[in-house]
Structure 1
Amino acid sequence: MLDQIPAQDLKYVGRETARIDAVEKLTGRATYVSDMAVPGMLFARVKTSPHARAKILSIDTSAARAIPGVRAVVTGKDLEYKLGLYVVDKDILARDEVRHFGEAVAAVAADTLETAQKAVEAIQIDYEVLEPVLHPKDALKEDAPLVHPDLGSYSYMEAAFTPKPGTNIANHTRLRKGDLERGFASSEWIIDREYTNPSVQHVPMETHVAIVQWSAGDQVQIWSSAQSPFTLRNLFCIAFGLPHRNVRVQIPYVGGGFGGKAGIGIEPLVAVLSRAAGGRPVKLTATREEEFSLLPCRSQLTYRIKTGISREGKILAQQMTMYWDSGAYADYAVNVTRASGYSAGGPYEIPNAAVDAYTVYTNKPFGTAYRGFGHVEFFWGLERHMDLIAQAIGMDPLEFRLKNTLKPGSVTLTGEKITSHTGDIDKCLTKAAEMIRYGEVSPEEEALAARSGKKIGKAVVGLHKAPAMPPFTATTVIIKMNEDGSVTANISLIDYGQGTYTAVAQMIAERLGFPLERVKVAFESDTDRDPYDWQTVASKGLLLSGNAAILAAEDLLRNAYNDAAQVLRANVIDLDHDSEGIFVRHREEERVSFRQLAIGYAYPNGNAIGGPLVGVGRYIAQGLTHLNKETGQGLPALDWTYGAHGMIVAVDPETGEYDVLKVASVFDAGRVINPGAFRGQAIGGMLQGLGTATVEGYIYDQKGHLLNPSFTDNKIPTSRDLPLEVETFGVECPQLDGPYGARGVGEHSMISVAAALGNAIQRASGAELTHMPLRFEDVWRALNRKEPVDNWITKSPRGSCKSAPEIGKYQCD
């Protein structure tokens, strides 16, 4: 089995390999949709709503249409199409009512960008402003206005989701395991706490951009910065009632996505502008401000966790309630809710559990997929909760975690049995602790503390995640042999920075036994030319596409061997190959080269056999099921990737200012395919996680206006914000069904970073923080808080609880 091949026997897998797209990107030769221009192309701009909730009384486009160079103007009344990935609830342009600040209300296509902008400004819209609902808890109140009064008429994916007509609930994911009441009744301590975090923006370097041409005969050509060409095509065809053969989607290089470009975005709007302009191609490039409000963000979360603990420090029961802020539309948020539901307990064994995860409509920009797919948000609460439990019961936080981790034989919230091949969370935690010298203070740290007056704090946190995808997720890879014996792989997984194409090339070279320089993975995916892939999301790319690539390589070799058997007059079983050709195993001089076989073998007299060598690899997720809607039982996860972060901070106990001195990130990758890419993913995601933890977050006023829709007031970290020291490590417990034993780590590096920071700050200073981001002033406020945050240890069945902040612990009589 490939997962059992010793590392020393592998030539390319597990070796440092330069990114195959590095030169094109570093030299500027890589072409993005942002760079593209099509003959006859028009430029689009969008008129957006200044209100969070309002009725549209009238739209006057006459002045815009009269401007020379304006070729098309469209409004919602012209468009009866509905969009939606899992719940079909969104109009291309707002009709009758706007549901969030920044929503698209009208759009223009013109000869120049300046003309389009002038025309948009000339459109006059009268609104009747309505009171918005801005928090999911408020949206659940009986008298809350309904964001979608027609929710009961919308179509949705019934197998997985449960919208509640007559409410603002777009989905309710429910899981039940064991006997919750009995678990709490048996508990020595019960700790109950709520954690919150805001919406944040993906901030890809390349904003959303699309060029669409709607030609005669309803032939539609789309060039987009999207992550998932086939999902984009499918949703587009469903919305417009077009046959799939009529729509072609091409994806060149993409300048980042992080989930924000995973489904369908601006393409339908650009398409209707093209159609209205007589079939001329139209290009729309979102501004950075539009990324913050017109386009989706990561959902806000409020997470309530109530945990029962035994005298020995074992988790006996846990009740978890999540309120996910979907914003105005369901999009991916309902699936984020589903994934967070079955992952809610983290890498810990919980014998008695209840999870209720709600996706709630509000009048804010809508939530979608974001790196970590909900796990960044709820692990902020979960891993803070683990530390606070340890503090409450007087146990070291690392010891408490290790006592409760999932181990072989453990059963997850959904009933999946953990095996020795699932991965090893204990190794991740203990390695991270070792890397930061947990439990001790180094001489350098002592000197820093003495010099600066800051206090040193250390924390270790755990994490896990599995790909969040339907049971029928599938992918294909096609490998074609070129005339010179090299190969080209066609794949529709989009490499928008994660380095998967390089890893796939390594695996193909390994399986074929070819030099890596003779393997090309073609960029620029095309639904008319390339094989199907579901989506580029969920950290599933390496596992699914890697397996498909290996199968394609084996199929190509099988075809080559069949042709060579005829040429060499030998049985296939007696053949072998090297990088140059195929030979008879016991007479190596009898051979035929791959060059000779590549497009068909020709005998000296002109007769020919075979034909162009092609290998096809198909792979589909195995054994996954939908979850029972009442109990949540089933198999939702293809594989789990475990990980841990260790963090060291220095905190000023007077001002709340802090420095992140070191982050150590450890992930059980199964097998690391490319150490450089692994390290890049680990560091990049960690820094993105620090951005979420320290500075990022949407801020609204009471009317739902987004107050910080730009980098002026909504900062992101840069390379200058890296910790003083960064260290990464790959634990390797091979995944049985992973390519060469590998499993994905693309999202995991961002998960639990915020919790590590919050825990380390509290360990250093005593500041209790339950909301992120953790700005210096937030730490200062926590340090100067006169009263406890809340009565977070409830009465225990065995006595009453009291706080003892002077000793940093909480005790029960």
Structure 2
Amino acid sequence: MNESYIGKSIPRIESVDKVTGSARYVHDMKLPGMLYARILTSPHAHAKICSIDTSRAEKLPGVKAVLTGPELPYKLGLYLVDKDILAKDKVRYQGEAVAAVAAVSEEIAEEAVRLIKVEYEPLPAVFDPVEALKEDAPLVHEELGSYSFMKGVFNPRPNTNIANHFKLRKGDVEKGFQESYRIFENEFRMPQVQHVPMETHAVIAEWLPSGRINIYTSAQSPFTVRNLMSVAFNIPHSRIHVVIPYVGGGFGGKAGIHLEPLAATLSRKAGGRPVKLVATREEEFNTIPVRQGIIARIKTGVSAEGRILAEDITYYWDAGAYADYGVNIGRASGYSGAGPYDIDNVRIDSYTIYTNHPYGTAYRGFGHVEFFWAIERQMDIIAHEMGIDPYELRMKNLLKPGSITITGEKIRENTGRVDKCLEMVAKEIGWKGSKTEEERKKEFVTGRVKGKGIAVLHKAPAMPTFTSSSAIIKFNEDGSVDVLTSGTDYGQGTYTALAQIAAEVLKMPLEKVHVVWENDTDTGPYDWQTVASRYTFMGGNAVIKAARDLIEQMKKVASAVLRAPEDELEIDNEKVYIKHNPDEYVTYQQLAMGYVYPNGNAIGGPLIGRGSYIAQGLTNLDPETGQGLPAIDWTYGAHGIEIEVDVRTGEIHVKKVVSAFDVGRVINRILCEGQITGGVVQGLGTALLEGYVYNKDGKLLNNSFTDYKIPTAKDIPETLIPLFVETPQLDGPFGARGVAEHPMISVPSALGNALYDALGIDIKELPITSEQVWKKIKNKVTKT
């Protein structure tokens, strides 16, 4: 028997290519006759474009194409079609692309951009999502009522700045508040942040004279790029060819389309020559979309025993200038937005709101990092005010088998156990309840105080009801197999997990399973997108079906060769054999290209297995109540964080982080642990360092690593312990469910809770800077 590969720590299959530099990225590529593109961006957050003079740029030797917005009669949008390729009548954020140049060198393109003259007339701008709701607020999109959008799913409001309003209603909220012993109301804030992938956005596009478009791009989904390009340009899908080689990180920022339409239209104007457009790091901050900011207002009614009786939540999402993924983030935060708690009476209003900031898009956690900052800080505030242990308060209210979620879904035994995750974390972190004020005072005089915080989380894949994945497995002449999918592995280790799954089902050595790295819409099977922590679940199931299809084909041929019924055959060790007589067998290699009898006759043929998987049972949600089935699975988790604070400077040192997740079944332990380590550190960046800073005119002030800091290796906690609960998902591959985004969620809130435990101070706005903590300490000392 072959060894089992499920649950083993298999090194990532692409690791050697990446560390030796042989992995090829779009940045490395160069096509014959290639041109280089640069863009001109707006210095204003909101302004009318009065005129654009490109004459001097067009005359510069080496310039082959110059484009402005009026030349491009196309609209872009994933769920709400509201964006031009280049700004036309007005600009809506500082950094928006206004014109573009393609030239024989990047230096000439940059010089040409400087020669373009644009006259603007500044317009009143709006930067706060709550202010943007006022009747007299400037409209970011006057034409909102004319835009096409995904009807039945999203709800834009014409003549307002509301790109989407998601409503969730469960029970009788007002009655719940009337029956409550105490009511707590708080507001929490989190700014926009940048994805900061190691590889900036890059694309090479060629719009050939035949009308065919070839695109090489660092994106998260080849078929999404193809589909959105097809819709935007009204071109058949078959005439758009998208290739994705290695991708150097995405975190959601490379989902959808970004630079591809601009590079393609520049190529068309340049006569079909390939055009390469690579975003600078400053453009990643200013021009490429970001993570949305949020203002969250929560009102919670609690019984004397600590049961949550009612919750009224409003999320104000700072979508920036365009809707992009932001409307779906608002939707996902609406149906998930009360956290993994069993609450009878819930009202949630989640508004995705246009402002004159850079526009928001998907980011690891898809809104959950943001709203869990509010939910889990609120839980601790309630616990402290009522004198209840924060651990006990959560345990009293967590979803358990038999509970009904806020969208009406029944939690079952195989759904996952958030209570077990919290129990494991509390035990490992050494949780003994919150400190008393007297304990804090005694420790304060030493100059360094310690604190512990806990927080829980949940997340499901946010995706359409019709989302699907497919896979192809084909034999090679030597009996090895190639696995073709169109899920993009941009560093998360997906392909290694798929190789393990294929090897496990086919009962063959892992080294004989090759997952084809480069995604290609011309040759690869369809997949919706690699987002939402869905691919191990969806793609894994598709690979299992493809492997089983291949096995059926092998057994059919082997049945004739061995003169035995198919149901009497078994597979193992790269052989198909007769169950009751294992010495009678035929090898995979003998079957791979067709079996040849000694006399030269042949049967069968090249064996190719195919498999597909589509999410089962999902429904659109009721537009007035949000009731329905929005998710195929839920991954639950919990964090425990221990910190030490220097009371003289406010500096926070993260000493220990413990994280537990119910992943259903661990496919690859080292990869799961890596996801947790990376997610926790990224979450600490959100908690302590990251956030866009603007001046009063909407100009971004920290658009480089000089002023925008992210965690480094030195910021990894001294101790980081990943733990796993395994409650198998019945429809998951070997029982697995996703865990890619989840480790980042609730890290900021657990840290905020630890800070209260250490010092008795509440912070409700991120990031938690040393200066902010120092001021809170000084204020508390002054009052006492």
TM-score normalised by structure 1 residue count: 0.94
- Equivalent position of 2:29 in the other structure: 36
Matches within 5 A, 1:752-763: 752-763=746-757
CA displacement 1:559-585 (0-9 Å, x = unmatched)? 000010011111001111222311111
Match of 1:275 among 268, 278, 289: 268
> CA separation in 2, counterparts of 1:441 and 1:454?
17
Task: Say whether the 8 Å CA contact 2:207–2:274 is kept in structure 1.
Answer: yes
User: Deviation of residue 9 (structure 1)?
Assistant: 10
* 1:401 is the counterpart of 2:394: yes
- Equivalent position of 1:304 in the other structure: 297
> CA separation in 2, counterparts of 1:749 and 1:10?
30
* 1:104 is the counterpart of 2:92: no
> CA separation in 2, counterparts of 1:310 and 1:768?
23
Matches within 5 A, 1:518-667: 518-667=512-661
CA displacement 1:336-379 (0-9 Å, x = unmatched)? 00000000011111100000000000011000000000000000
> CA separation in 1, counterparts of 2:679 and 2:590?
46
Match of 2:157 among 160, 164, 176: 164
User: Deviation of residue 434 (structure 1)?
Assistant: 1.1
- 1:660 partner SS: strand
- Equivalent position of 1:118 in the other structure: 111
Task: Say whether the 8 Å CA contact 2:390–2:433 is kept in structure 1.
Answer: no
User: Deviation of residue 544 (structure 1)?
Assistant: 0.4
> CA separation in 2, counterparts of 1:449 and 1:741?
47
Residues 591 and 192 (structure 1), Cα distance of their counterparts in 2 relative to 1, 3 Å cut = same
User: Deviation of residue 755 (structure 1)?
Assistant: 0.4
Match of 1:71 among 42, 64, 75: 64
> CA separation in 2, counterparts of 1:589 and 1:363?
73
* 1:146 is the counterpart of 2:139: yes
User: Deviation of residue 655 (structure 1)?
Assistant: 3.0
> CA separation in 2, counterparts of 1:482 and 1:440?
60
Matches within 5 A, 1:285-296: 285-296=278-289
User: Deviation of residue 16 (structure 1)?
Assistant: 1.1
User: Deviation of residue 145 (structure 1)?
Assistant: 1.0
Residues 398 and 777 (structure 1), Cα distance of their counterparts in 2 relative to 1, 3 Å cut = same
Letter in 1 for 2:678: G
- 1:90 partner SS: coil
Matches within 5 A, 1:717-732: 717-732=711-726
> CA separation in 1, counterparts of 2:776 and 2:235?
57
Letter in 2 for 1:205: M
* 1:715 is the counterpart of 2:709: yes
Task: Say whether the 8 Å CA contact 1:131–1:703 is kept in structure 2.
Answer: no
Task: Say whether the 8 Å CA contact 1:449–1:650 is kept in structure 2.
Answer: no
Letter in 2 for 1:546: G
- 1:676 partner SS: helix
* 1:421 is the counterpart of 2:395: no
- 2:276 partner SS: strand
- Equivalent position of 1:354 in the other structure: 347
> CA separation in 2, counterparts of 1:213 and 1:172?
39
CA displacement 1:657-716 (0-9 Å, x = unmatched)? 221110011110111111100110000000000001101000111111111111111111
Letter in 1 for 2:485: I
Give the unaligned 5+ runs of structure 1.
1-7, 789-804, 807-813
TM-score normalised by structure 2 residue count: 0.98
Task: Say whether the 8 Å CA contact 1:33–1:209 is kept in structure 2.
Answer: yes
> CA separation in 2, counterparts of 1:739 and 1:10?
18
Residues 452 and 598 (structure 1), Cα distance of their counterparts in 2 relative to 1, 3 Å cut = farther
* 1:235 is the counterpart of 2:203: no
> CA separation in 1, counterparts of 2:552 and 2:460?
33
* 1:261 is the counterpart of 2:289: no
Match of 2:125 among 132, 136, 146: 132
- Equivalent position of 2:54 in the other structure: 61
> CA separation in 1, counterparts of 2:80 and 2:197?
26
Runs of 4+ in 1 over 4 A off after TM superposition: 448-452
Letter in 2 for 1:43: Y
- Equivalent position of 1:809 in the other structure: none
Task: Say whether the 8 Å CA contact 2:207–2:213 is kept in structure 1.
Answer: yes
- 2:779 partner SS: coil
Letter in 1 for 2:237: H
- Equivalent position of 2:686 in the other structure: 692
> CA separation in 2, counterparts of 1:517 and 1:709?
44
Letter in 2 for 1:766: G
> CA separation in 2, counterparts of 1:269 and 1:657?
45
- Equivalent position of 1:677 in the other structure: 671
- Equivalent position of 2:167 in the other structure: 174
When the two chains are superposed, the root-mean-square deviation of aligned CA atoms in Å is 1.7
- Equivalent position of 2:334 in the other structure: 341
> CA separation in 1, counterparts of 2:67 and 2:327?
30
- 1:83 partner SS: coil
Higher mean Cα deviation, 744-753 or 699-708? 699-708
Letter in 2 for 1:122: L
Letter in 2 for 1:172: H
Task: Say whether the 8 Å CA contact 1:464–1:643 is kept in structure 2.
Answer: yes
- Equivalent position of 1:50 in the other structure: 43
User: Deviation of residue 455 (structure 1)?
Assistant: 1.1
* 1:90 is the counterpart of 2:79: no
- Equivalent position of 1:498 in the other structure: 492
Letter in 2 for 1:586: H
> CA separation in 1, counterparts of 2:103 and 2:240?
24
Aligned length: 780
> CA separation in 2, counterparts of 1:148 and 1:655?
45
> CA separation in 2, counterparts of 1:757 and 1:686?
11
> CA separation in 2, counterparts of 1:135 and 1:236?
32
Letter in 2 for 1:690: L
CA displacement 1:68-124 (0-9 Å, x = unmatched)? 000000000101100000000000000010000000000000000000000000000
> CA separation in 2, counterparts of 1:399 and 1:749?
23
* 1:737 is the counterpart of 2:731: yes
> CA separation in 2, counterparts of 1:306 and 1:429?
24
> CA separation in 1, counterparts of 2:260 and 2:110?
19
Letter in 1 for 2:464: P
User: Deviation of residue 587 (structure 1)?
Assistant: 2.0
